[in-house]
Amino acid sequence: MTFGKLTYLMRIPVLPLFLALFGLVLSAHAAPRKPAADAEVLERLPLRAGDAGARELAALRSAMTAAPNDAAPATRLAQRYFDLAMARGDPRYVGYAEAVVARFGEPLPASLRFTRGLLRQYRHDFEGALADFAAAVAIDPDLAAAHAWRGAIYLVQADYAAARNECDALRRLGRGMLVGACIGLAQAYGGQLEAGYRSLQQALVASSDPDNRLWLLTRLGEVAAWRGESALAERHYREALSLGRDDGYLLAAWSDFLLDAGRPAEVVKQLAGWEASDSLLLRLAEAEAALKSPAAARLAQALDERFAAARLRGDTTHRAEEARYQLRLRGDAAQALGLAAENYRVQREPRDARILLEAAIAARDGAAAQFVRDWLRSSGFEDARLRRLGQESALGRSAYLEFRSAGR
Amino acid sequence: MMLRRWLLSLLLLLSLPVLAHKASDSYLVLDIKGATVSGQWDIALRDIDFALGLDLDGNGEITWGELRARQADIDAWALGRLTLLRGGGCSLQVADHLVDSHTDGAYAVLQLAGTCPGGGGELTLTYRLLFELDALHRGLLRLNLDGTTQTAVLSPERAEQRFSAGEVSRLAQFGQYLVEGIWHIWIGFDHILFLLSLLLPAVLVHEAGRWRGVANFRQALVEVLWVVTAFTVAHSITLSLAALGLISLPSRLVESAIAASVVLAAANNLKPLVEHRRWMVAFGFGLIHGFGFASVLAELGLPQETLVMSLLGFNLGVETGQLAIVAVFLPVAYALRATGFYRRGVFVGGSLITLVIALIWLVERAFDLKLISA
């Protein structure tokens, strides 16, 4: 079964589940109670026992149980869980996958070491993940995916030279399409938007798989928007949407594009039914707030509860989004700046840079965004909006200094 | 497949945790006083289903009936993964089964009860629920150990944790109960209304069927001091007796009597029967109010090792709260005593409103109804 078919099958019960979940968010914190009737439905499960997805998982689980010391079935099960976590945005599956890996003692075989790397990067343990991928490659030099992941992590950390080393490793392994995607992003982030756009475009021409095309089109949309070519960006996003596949990242990028363009009504229409995803709920709440709709307060409250639940368990992977929530929906610039700065220590992509600059400007604390201005200078990243924000954040500081020296 | 994986990885890494749901947590609240354990454990139905299988008919829905059918298995599974040690292994049972909702869905609620061999000292807690199935599962613990509240996140790396109650100093404990006492008088409207009903006439004198203002401040102050002191002495006596477990009255009787005391105090302002020795009224009904304070203290829990200090702290807190009310009330009432606004509006009007509210309380509490207050 292809990945696409699997996600399609699994998505069927997702929408009602999301709606039920959202209802539960609103009715949360009820007091413990004893239901009156045995027939009362308390919970709807994401998978029914008879579903194809559930049957496949059951088969993978029993294969692992039948050969508990064999890494191959364990790896298959763990990777299926990981794919499920990606497709449905449900972190419980990541925990299931970690538990499968944890059944094996050190040293882990290459496949499980690689899998553990996937799970570690999910939790933003990037150093641990880089080490796992490096160890997996040391055991199995042909493991292109491990190079690809290392490249992706270096891009997030804004270490473009290291990312390019991984792209080179992929080229040596003859993985043409991976090379195109890897180089394209490294170029775009590293100050060569036009070259990056061309690399991604070439990869798109060579790719027929709809999942790959969707991803490449999304990134082309982002790069075009950074270059200020709004009409071209919209064309890429619309082509990606026309593939008819639900994709959280595409929807988030397209929503951000529409919000930047002052078209919140279209965001509301596009994201109907996606409230269960934290990142999309954030965009939806921003759009409703821009429209001054009565739903805005309810959505902001739901977001607040989700961030609170994550904080309770010490989860810090949401800081970039929480910063955006604090800045744009709560108007708390100081709180937003703290979160954005913490996030920027871990993740340094253009969107992370942007929220830090915006928070620093709002909090009138230009010094807090010095790292971003350093990055803009060293990378030469070409997005006009970010460069303007960078100048504004620095301007605030020097204007302040001027004011002080004039006052003296 | 490899490219797809890599692309997926990028989707994820682009700081977009598409967390439609949250990771698995259970909520464990434990209250341990000496050797007695009580508590509540909320575990997600999805997690129980993953571990034990709840959906008996395979329709993707978990009903109360399906959950009920597996209660014994669930209890054995959960309790087998939670160990409490205090002077030896504590025994734990599930006293009742309920359900509740958290942000990510429905939870089974296990109400816990148990006893430990030792009545004091360190507590060692070991938590292993779901860890073998879900390495990201966390137990979110809120522990009240002999009156000290602590929280902890239980993870596979920190599955066993030790807690001791002795970390809080006696002074801090005293301060904590002092604050609780102040807080209780501030939120205890029945106590405040009773006190105010007795204080309202303190700046007035009833002569020849009419009220007029007292001649000087000293006269009002003496009256207030008598009333407040009598109320304090009386409720301190019964509060201590009840908190030490020497006397116990049914709470419905106590609460009804408190409401009746407010009714009578307010009625006495409108048609005076007791005019001069109001301190005796304050003393008599103060005894009843003391039982009311004691029930609050029982809910807070009195740590055995600092019993007297905590009791003293709570009592002083109540007095402090009372004195704050008097300190605000008396100067204002004295300044306004000669005005018609005070005599008709505040004194007569206020007493009337108090009378009505207290009557409703009385009916509610005596007949166990809900009319205005929760």
The answer to whether residue B20 neighbours chain A at the CB level (below 8 Å) is: yes
Tell me the C-alpha distance between B354 and B188, whole Å: 14
Given a cut of 50, is residue A408 above it in pLDDT? no
Question: Confidence class of residue A231 from pLDDT cuts 50, 70 and 90?
Answer: very high
| DSSP assignments along A333-402, one per residue | HHHHHHHHHHHHHH--SHHHHHHHHHHHHHTT-GGGGHHHHHHHHHH----HHHHHHHHHHHHHHHHHHH
> What whole-number distance in Å separates Cα of residue B151 and Cα of residue B142?
4
Chain B, nearest residue to A37 by Cα: B64
pLDDT at B118: 83
Residues A4 and A133 in one domain: yes
Hey, is the C-beta of A129 within 8 angstroms of any chain B C-beta?
no
Q: How far apart are CA A313 and CA A92, in angstroms?
A: 14
Cβ atoms of B193 and B373 within 8 Å: the answer is no
Task: Note whether B50 contacts A: Cβ–Cβ < 8 A.
Answer: yes
Would the CB atoms of A47 and B21 count as touching at under 8 Å? no
Confidence category of residue B174, pLDDT binned at 50, 70, 90: confident
> Residue A92: inside a domain, yes or no?
yes
Each residue's pLDDT tens digit, B265-318: 898 888 877 777 888 888 998 998 888 888 777 766 666 666 777 788 888 888
Q: Contact B4/A211, CB-based, under 8 Å?
A: yes
Strand-pair category, B138-145 with B210-213 = unpaired
Query: Which of B5, B136, B140 is nearest residue A91 as measured by Cβ atoms?
Result: B136
pLDDT recorded at residue B372: 59
The mean pLDDT of B48-70, rounded to a whole number, is 91
Residue A329 has pLDDT above 90, yes or no: yes
Inform me whether the pLDDT recorded for A401 exceeds 70.
no
Which chain B residues touch A91 with a CB distance below 8 Å? 17, 19, 21-23, 136
- Say what the alpha-carbon torsion angle A108, A109, A112, A113 is, to the nearest 10 degrees: 70
The secondary structure of residue B303, as a DSSP letter, is: -
The verdict on residue A333 lying in a domain is: yes
Contact map slice: A 255-274 vs B, CB within 8 A: none
Residue A29's pLDDT band (cuts 50, 70, 90): very low
Q: B15 in the Ramachandran plot: left (φ > 0), alpha (ψ -120 to 50) or beta?
A: left
The arithmetic mean of pLDDT across residues B192-207, rounded, is 85
A42 within a domain of the structure (yes/no): no
Mean per-residue pLDDT over chain B, rounded: 84
Domain match, A1 and A94 both: yes
Where do the domains of chain B lie? 23-167, 170-367
**Lowest-confidence segment of A16-20, B75-79, B208-212, B247-251 by average pLDDT:** A16-20
Q: What is the mean pLDDT of residues B4-11?
A: 47
Q: Is the pLDDT of residue A24 over 70?
A: no
Q: Determine the Cα–Cα distance for residues B119 and B34; give it in Å rounded to an integer.
A: 4
pLDDT value for A399 = 52
Give residues with Cβ within 8 angstroms of A143, minimum separation 6.
Answer: A110, A114, A136, A137
Report whether B74 contacts B109 (CB < 8 A): no
Residues 6+ apart with CB under 8 A from B239: B290, B291, B293, B294, B297, B311, B314, B315
Reported in sequence order, the residue ranges of chain B that DSSP labels E, i.e. its strands, are: 25-33, 36-44, 61-63, 82-85, 91-102, 105-115, 123-127, 138-145, 148-154, 160-163, 204-207, 210-213
Last residue of a domain, one of A239, A265, A280: A239
Note the pLDDT of residue A166.
94
In a domain, A214, yes or no: yes
Taking residues A166-181, what's their average pLDDT? 88
Q: Which residues of A touch B109 (CB under 8 A)?
A: 32
For residues B128 and B159, the answer to whether their CB atoms sit within 8 Å is yes
Q: Is the pLDDT of residue B16 over 80?
A: no
At residue B166, the pLDDT reads 61
State residue A89's pLDDT score. Answer: 65
For chain A, what is the largest distance between any 2 Cα atoms, rounded to a whole number of angstroms? 80
> Residue B136 above 60 pLDDT?
yes
Give dist(CA B313, CA B243) in Å, integer.
Answer: 13
pLDDT at A15 over 60: no
Q: Please tell me the predicted confidence (pLDDT) of residue B161.
A: 92
Mean of pLDDT values over B40-56: 92
Instruction: Give A62's pLDDT tier (boundaries 50, 70, 90).
Output: very high
Residues A307 and A337 occupy one common structural domain:
no
Smallest Cβ–Cβ distance between B16 and the set A41, A43, A249 belongs to: A249
Residue A150 lies in a domain: no
Task: Express each pLDDT in B75-118 by its tens digit.
Answer: 999 999 999 999 899 999 999 999 998 777 899 999 999 999 98
Question: Is residue B172 within 8 Å of B147, Cβ to Cβ?
Answer: no
Q: Is B67 on the interface with A (CB under 8 A)?
A: yes
Percent of chain B at pLDDT exceeding 90:
29
Write out the two tokens for B198: 């007795």
Residue A134 and residue A265 share a domain: no
pLDDT at A6: 29
Nearest-CA distance from A144 to chain B in Å? 8
Nearest CB among A45, A99, A252 relative to B46 is that of A45
Residues 6 or more apart from B32 whose CB is under 8 A from it? B84, B86, B116, B123, B143, B144, B145, B146
Does A309 contact B156 at a Cβ distance shorter than 8 Å?
no
Which residues 169-228 on chain A approach chain B with CB closer than 8 angstroms? 175, 177-178, 181, 185, 209, 211-212, 215
A26 touches chain B (CB under 8 A): no
For position B5, what pLDDT does the model report? Answer: 47
Q: Are A352 and A336 in contact (CB under 8 A)?
A: no
Contact assessment for residue B76 and residue B59, using Cβ atoms and an 8 Å cutoff? no
Backbone angles phi, psi at B79, to 5 degrees: -65, -30
Angle between helices B217-243 and B189-199 (to 10 degrees): 150
Report, as an integer, the average pLDDT of B191-214. Answer: 83
Nearest residue in chain B measured CA to CA from A304: B103
Q: Is B44 exposed, middle or buried (0-12, 13-18, 19+ CB in 10 A)?
A: buried
Output the pLDDT for position A50.
73
Mean pLDDT is lowest, of A64-73, A75-84, B298-307, for B298-307
Nearest chain A residue to B1 by CA distance is A3
Per residue in A177-218, pLDDT (tens digit) is 888 999 999 999 999 999 999 999 999 998 888 888 998 999
Spatial CB neighbours of A400, under 8 Å, sequence gap ≥ 6 = A364, A366
User: Can you read off the two tokens belonging to residue B238?
Assistant: 């019964």
Q: Residue B169: how many CB atoms within 10 A of its CB? A: 10
Interface test with B, best of A3, A45, A167, A318 (most B CBs within 10 A): A45
The complex's ipTM works out to 0.72
Residue of A nearest to B59 (CA): A48
pLDDT at B345: 86
Regarding whether A203 and A276 lie in a shared domain, the answer is no
What is the CATH classification number for the domain harbouring A89? 1.25.40
pLDDT mean across residues, chain A: 85
Q: What is the CA radius of gyration of chain A?
A: 23
Averaged pLDDT, A35-62: 86
Q: A158 in a domain, yes or no?
A: no
A64 and A132 fall within a common domain: yes
The helix-helix angle for B217-243 and B307-336 (nearest 10°) equals: 160
Q: What is the pLDDT of residue A49?
A: 72
Domain identity same for A268 and A220: no
**Burial (Cβ within 10 Å: 0-12, 13-18, ≥19) of residue B87:** middle
- Confidence grade of residue B207 (pLDDT, cut at 50, 70, 90): confident
Domain end point (choices A106, A125, A141): A141
Helix axes A110-122, A144-156, angle to 10 degrees: 20
| Domain assignment present for A368 | yes
Q: B7 to chain A: nearest residue by CA?
A: A215
Cβ contact (<8 Å) for B65 and A18?
Answer: no
CB-based contact B136 A94, cutoff 8 Å:
yes
Asked if A89 and A131 sit in the same domain, the reply is yes
CA dist., res. B126 & res. B138, Å (int):
13
Q: Which residues of A touch B9 (CB under 8 A)?
A: 118, 121, 148-149, 152
pTM for this structure?
Answer: 0.64
Number of domains in chain A: 4
Q: Is the dihedral of CA A167, A172, A175, A180 positive or negative?
A: positive
Contact residues on chain B for A315, CB-CB shorter than 8 A = 22-23
pLDDT of amino acid B12? 41
Range of lowest pLDDT (A12-21, A264-273, A318-327, B227-236): A12-21
Counting residues of chain A whose pLDDT is more than 90, the rounded percentage is: 62
Distance of CA B246 to the CA centre of its chain: 22
Measured distance CA(B272)–CA(B281) in Å, rounded: 12
Per DSSP, the three-state class of B110 is strand
Q: Would you say residue A27 lies in a domain?
A: no
Interface test with A, best of B61, B66, B103 (most A CBs within 10 A): B103
Rg for chain B (alpha carbons), in Å?
28
On whether the CB atoms of residues B114 and B84 are closer than 8 A, the answer is yes
Contact between residue B234 and residue B284 where contact means Cβ atoms under 8 Å apart: yes
Domain around A137: 1-9+51-141
Chain A residues in contact with B100 (beta carbon < 8 A) = 30-33
Same domain assignment for residues A176 and A276: no
Percentage of the residues of chain B whose pLDDT score is greater than 70 = 89
Looking at the DSSP bridge assignments, the partners of residue A49 are none
The pLDDT tens digits of the residues spanning B120-130 come to 888 999 999 99
Q: Do B65 and A38 touch (CB under 8 A)?
A: yes
Instruction: Provide the number of CB pairs (under 8 Å) joining chain A to chain B.
Output: 246
Nearest to A43 by CA among B49, B61, B66: B61
Instruction: Please give the residue that has the higher pLDDT: either A140 or B21.
Output: A140
B99 touching A (Cβ < 8 Å)? yes
Element (H, E) at B140: strand B138-145
Cβ B90 vs Cβ B126: under 8 Å: no
Task: Judge contact between B201 and B194, C-beta under 8 A.
Answer: no
| Residue B101 C-alpha, separation from nearest chain A C-alpha, in angstroms | 5
pLDDT at A316 over 90: no
User: Nearest Cα to A277, choosing from A29, A84, A78, A87?
Assistant: A87
